[in-house]
Amino acid sequence: MKKFIPFFKPNIEKEEIEEVIDTLNSGWLTTGEKTKTFENHFNTFLENKNNCIAVSSATAGLHLAVVSLGIGLGDEVIVPNHTFTSSAEIVRYTGAEVKLVDVCEDNLNIDPKLIESSINEKTKAIIVVHFGGLACQMDEINKIAKKNNLFVIEDAAHALPTTYKKTIIGNLDTHATIFSFYANKTITTGEGGMVVTKNKSLAKRMKVLRIHGIDSDVFDRYITEKPKWFYQVVDAGFKYNLSDIASSIGIHQMKKVHTFQKRRQEIAEFYLKELSDLNVNLPQKAGNGDIHSWHLFILRLNNKDEAVRNKFIEDMFKLNIGCSVHYIPLNQHLYWKNRYNLNSTQFPVSDKIYKQIVSLPIYYDLTDNEVEYISNSIKKLLS
Ligand SMILES: *Cc1c(COP(=O)(O)O)cnc(C)c1O
């Protein structure tokens, strides 16, 4: 292939571009009507069962969720070891500590069997990550959480659209779910996120904290004659609102959530079929008619030595194919290793798997030719 195939490319069409131009011409660039429309579209997608709060990133949304649930100094939160640092860092913002837990070898989702032994009197919440777009074992996790009186927060940065036992992620019985619209996620606003909760008072608190702790209801309640300049700060909030420029992109990306997923599903099925004879581990499919978002397609080579995987990625690059690794486990990062004195015997699954994983290109704009070329290149390199 003459042209380089990037690991990811967002699909941005005329509609997104025209909406952004319309916003730029409107004179209103920050959070306003377009963001409200985006939130409404998102809520429609979730069958109008939720409160949807647009934020500047999923990281901001995750932080709003833990703060608004009252998590802070002296508390502990359970987080999977095999994730992006964002899932865990937001716990540290509050002063609370992170308890990392190993994942299942089959799908890299948090291992429910390891959660219970990580719970102590300080534990307040479990953050789960629907890794790569395949839902975690939520019945088991919710049961453990209920029994131990813990909050459950879903990091759904990979999970749009994903279902668990036919329920769309965002509508499960948990405290908050957070989606990401970062540039390489399943839909994008460049940077952005959405916090979703069924709990009205939690939603209210997150809305206030999203914008400097300014409470517009206090304004409505106490001021009958409403001067436009008046507002009240009721908390030390954050600057986590999403601009109407970003929301303009989101409004049109939302319409394509399922179209994008269908294409990724097609590509995933092609890879699964074409690579099935190789000496590799292929990713798990969703069972029982559920939707896997296929945000990531992770191939596992059968090596024990990391150098083999690294060379594979270099060889793919030489063939003009961009690959990636999701993720370097948290216990292998200096900050987390030093903070909690972690060693590589504590997370046998993520440490073993880290040496073998390669993420392949999987996105709407990949052509059939490119997908075939990628799969043929892998066959050539591995046989
Ligand atoms: C991308 C990602 C995030 C952070 O998303 P942002 O919108 O960039 O803040 C959090 N968790 C996981 C698992 C991610 O992949």
Predicted confidence (pLDDT) per residue in 74-93, tens digit: 999 999 999 999 999 999 99
Q: What is the mean pLDDT of residues 309-316?
A: 98
CA of 81 to the centre of ligand 1 (A): 14
222 — pLDDT class (breaks 50, 70, 90):
low
Residue nearest to atom 1 of ligand 1 (CA): 157
pLDDT digits (tens, 9 = 90+) for 331-368: 999 999 999 999 878 999 999 999 999 999 999 999 99
Greater pLDDT, 305 or 22: 22
Q: At what angle do helices 306-318 and 368-382 cross, to 10 degrees?
A: 140
What pLDDT does 311 receive? 97
Ligand 1 pocket by Cβ (under 6 Å)? 57-59, 83-84, 86-87, 129, 155, 157-158, 180, 182, 193
Give the pLDDT band (50/70/90) at residue 225.
Answer: low
Q: Let me know how long the chain is.
A: 383
Res 227: pLDDT: 75
- Most confidently predicted of 42-46, 217-221, 231-235: 42-46
Say how many Å lie between the CA of residue 214 and the centre of ligand 1: 26
Asked if residue 218 has pLDDT above 70, the reply is no
Residue minimizing CA distance to atom 15 of ligand 1: 157
Cα(30)–Cα(239) distance, integer angstroms:
12
| CA 66 to centroid of chain Cα atoms | 16
Q: Which of 84, 162, 188, 326 to mutate to test the pocket of ligand 1 (most atoms within 8 A of CB)?
A: 84
Please give the average per-residue pLDDT across 301-330, as a whole number: 96
C-alpha 178 to ligand 1 mean position (Å): 9
Which among 57, 83, 109, 180 is the best mutation to test ligand 1's pocket, defined by most ligand atoms within 8 Å of the CB?
A: 180
Q: 203 C-alpha vs ligand 1 centroid, how far in Å?
A: 20
- Return the residue matching tokens 């916003």: 23
Q: Verify whether residue 124 is a known catalytic residue.
A: no
Task: Specify the ligand 1 atom closest to the Cα of 295.
Answer: 15
Task: Specify the residue with its C-alpha closest to ligand 1, atom 5.
Answer: 58
Query: Ligand 1 centre and the CA of 239: distance in Å?
Result: 18
Closest ligand 1 atom to Cα of 83: 13
Using a pLDDT cut of 90, give the percent of the chain over it. 93
| Closest C-alpha residue for ligand 1 atom 8 | 182
Contact assessment for residue 119 and residue 94, using Cβ atoms and an 8 Å cutoff: no
Kindly name the residue from 34, 99, 124, 185 that is annotated as catalytic.
185
What is the layout of strands, in order, in the sheet containing 193-197?
Answer: 51-55, 193-197, 176-180, 151-155, 123-129, 76-80, 97-101
Instruction: Identify the pLDDT of residue 150.
Output: 98
Task: Say how many C-beta atoms besides its own lie within 10 A of residue 37's C-beta.
Answer: 17
- Whether the Cβ atoms of residue 356 and residue 303 lie closer than 8 Å to each other: yes
pLDDT at 131 over 70: yes
For position 191, what pLDDT does the model report?
A: 98
Average confidence score pLDDT of the chain:
96
Ligand 1 pocket, mutate which of 103, 185, 194, 253 (most atoms under 8 A from CB): 185
CA nearest to 257, candidates 291, 233, 211, 303? 291
pLDDT at residue number 50? 95
**pTM across the whole model:** 0.97
Task: Please give the distance, rounded to the nearest whole angstrom, from the Cα atom of residue 83 to the centre of ligand 1.
Answer: 9
Mean pLDDT, rounded, for 31-42? 97
Q: Atom 2 (ligand 1): residue with closest C-alpha? A: 157
pLDDT in tens, 141-182: 999 999 999 999 999 999 999 999 999 999 999 999 999 999
State which of 182, 188, 324, 326 you would mutate to test the pocket of ligand 1, scoring each by most atoms of that ligand within 8 A of its C-beta.
182
Torsion of CA 163, 302, 81, 183, to 10 degrees: -60
Q: Work out the average pLDDT over 202-228.
A: 80
> If you search the block for the tokens 């990531």, which residue do you land on?
296
Q: How far is the CA of 288 from the centre of ligand 1 (A)?
A: 27
pLDDT for 226:
66
